[in-house]
């Protein structure tokens, strides 16, 4: 259900699809990062923003945990790697979530409602993977020539369409000495699409 470049990701969901910080800045790793971001790149504004995978709640009072956190635990058990995000496993995971009584999960895994639920979750999984790629490219890739200008162009596109915009903008900020990054940040700010 995910694009081929994403299915090849060797890093498991258990660690949040995180790319190891010590991963070398090799041509293969940079090419994998680029292929994943290109494969997941939005073509239009994203109507259902990807939730922050590190949700802890806001404010002083302990807010009620959103139901998607429970769903994520089940999804992660059924699909610990990107190549296991299949229609069959998604159906099994949806059925399991419904049996557990998690709010918002369709009872019939073959219904139209379940198809929408599945599309949302596949989008969120792709978003979490793309966010980790942006984080690795920003925090761990020091040679800016390896990511200029393609990463800046993709980050601007992701931010403009509201698909993991925080991580996309963070990449631009991490590489803030690159003119292309500064230009993209200025455009996003002028358009009002840059997250705070």
At a CB cut-off of 8 Å and minimum separation 6, what does 69 contact? 55
Calpha distance 179→191 (Å, rounded): 18
Provide the pLDDT for residue 15.
Answer: 80
Calpha distance 47→44 (Å, rounded): 9
Provide the pLDDT for residue 55.
Answer: 79
pLDDT digits (tens, 9 = 90+) for 54-106: 877 665 565 688 899 999 999 999 999 999 999 999 999 999 999 999 999 99
Model confidence at 192: pLDDT above 90: no
Is-contact 150 178, C-beta < 8 A?
no
Provide the pLDDT for residue 77.
Answer: 96
Provide the pLDDT for residue 195.
Answer: 63
pLDDT digits (tens, 9 = 90+) for 121-168: 999 999 999 999 999 999 999 999 999 999 999 999 999 999 999 999
Provide the pLDDT for residue 59.
Answer: 58
Residue 74 Cα distances to 13, 38, 92, 94, 104, angstroms? 12, 28, 10, 8, 14
Provide the pLDDT for residue 196.
Answer: 54
Provide the pLDDT for residue 58.
Answer: 64
Model confidence at 109: pLDDT above 90: no
What is the residue-averaged pLDDT of the chain?
A: 92
Could you state, in order of their start, the residue ranges of all structural domains in the chain?
Answer: 20-191
């Amino acid at each position: 259900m995910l694009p081929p470049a994403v299915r090849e990701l060797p890093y498991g969901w258990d660690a949040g699809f995180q790319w190891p910080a010590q991963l070398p800045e090799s041509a293969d790793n940079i090419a994998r990062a680029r292929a994943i971001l290109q494969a997941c790149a939005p073509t239009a504004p994203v109507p259902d923003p990807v939730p922050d995978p590190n949700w802890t709640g806001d404010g002083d009072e302990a807010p009620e945990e959103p139901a998607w956190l429970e769903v994520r635990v089940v999804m992660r058990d059924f699909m610990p790697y990107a190549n296991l995000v299949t229609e069959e496993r998604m159906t099994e995971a949806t059925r399991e979530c419904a049996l557990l009584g998690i709010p918002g999960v369709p009872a019939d895994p073959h219904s139209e409602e379940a198809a929408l639920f599945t599309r949302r979750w596949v989008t969120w999984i792709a978003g979490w993977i793309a966010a980790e790629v942006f984080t690795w490219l920003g925090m761990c890739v020091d040679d800016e020539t390896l990511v200029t200008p393609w990463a800046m162009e993709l980050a601007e596109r992701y931010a403009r369409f509201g698909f993991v915009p925080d991580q996309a903008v963070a990449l631009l900020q991490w590489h803030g000495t690159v003119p292309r990054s500064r230009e993209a940040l200025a455009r996003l700010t002028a358009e009002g699409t840059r997250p705070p």
